[in-house]
Amino acid sequence: MSDSASNHIAEQIEQNFAQIENDQEAATAFRQLDVTEFQDAAYSMLEKVSVFLNIESQRRSLQRIKAGRGRLDSETEASFVEHLAQGARAYGEFLVAGDRADKAMTACGLDVIISRYSKTFFWHVTSNPRAPHLEDLFRNVGATDRQISQFTELANSNDWDLLRLHGANGTFRGLLDVASQEMPRVQDMVSAVRAHGLPTIEGASSDSPWWVPVIIFVAAAAICIIGAVTFNWWTCAISAVLV
């Protein structure tokens, strides 16, 4: 990206946030959020996303090995099935943490504000100077440059309206509902691998059932980090993961 394009994005982001900061209803909702509860839920989501991304990395690696060799050792297959089952359990735990985050926002009206300003709040979030280390946070939980690029392309194709990705209805709760609908596919995937072994055909990473939770986590992390910078949440420390 050229310097002029970067400067234009940075200037537009500041204009977007000036609009949000000048909205007294928005400012009140951000300041009334139970930051401790929201942050703890975000940390829990962070843990689960790390599990998902590392399972994806292991899957791709083992599929390449199996495709080349024609098989995996039985111990390796069995170990991956257990890791995949762990991922399915983590998926359910992620949904519980996401529900906690949503309830914290609903209690102060922040859910309505985030929906109202979804495009402006999340616009080019990975380039937002108010969240300068979001990509680093993404990498620290196991995301590859390719996955970050895929996320950026996916968000950009939807004009950075994260709350309407994958058919969500424009609310944080809507994204959680989409993720909940993926749970049977996650469970079916575990059952299929347990019964037939790891398939050698590598599917598109962007079609992974883990992608919706990744999007939800990025949204929650952005709310936490940008809220800390913009509205002086001195107790918000999720960026400490970067240290």
Q: Which stretches of the chain drop beneath a pLDDT of 50? A: 204, 233-243
DSSP assignment letter at 141: T
In a domain, 9, yes or no: no
pLDDT, residue 168, reads 92
pLDDT, residue 202, reads 58
SS3 of residue 130 by DSSP: coil
In a domain, 17, yes or no: no
For the chain, the domain total comes to 1
pLDDT, residue 234, reads 44
Q: Quick: pLDDT tens for 179-214.
A: 999 999 999 999 999 999 998 875 545 567 778 888
pLDDT, residue 243, reads 38
Q: Quick: pLDDT tens for 64-77.
A: 999 999 999 999 99
Domain that holds residue 89: 22-242
- Going by C-alpha positions, the residue among 202, 238, 201, 196 that lies closest to residue 221 is 238
pTM: 0.86
Please, what is the end-to-end C-alpha distance for the chain in angstroms? 27
pLDDT, residue 79, reads 96
Q: Which two tokens stand for residue 118?
A: 């979804």
Query: Taking the CA of residue 121 as centre, how many other CA atoms within 13 Å lie in the half-sphere pointing to its CB?
Result: 30
In a domain, 16, yes or no: no
Contact 127, 3 (CB under 8 A): no
In a domain, 6, yes or no: no
In a domain, 137, yes or no: yes
pLDDT, residue 8, reads 81
Residue by residue, what is the 3-state secondary structure of 170-207?
A: CCHHHHHHHHHHCHHHHHHHHHHHHHHCCCCCCCCHHH
Q: Which two tokens stand for residue 135?
A: 């990509």
Q: Which two tokens stand for residue 47?
A: 């843990």
In a domain, 192, yes or no: yes
List CB contacts of 42: < 8 A, sequence separation 6 or more: 97, 101, 217, 220, 221, 224, 238
Give the C-alpha separation, 190 to 206, whole Å: 19
In a domain, 8, yes or no: no
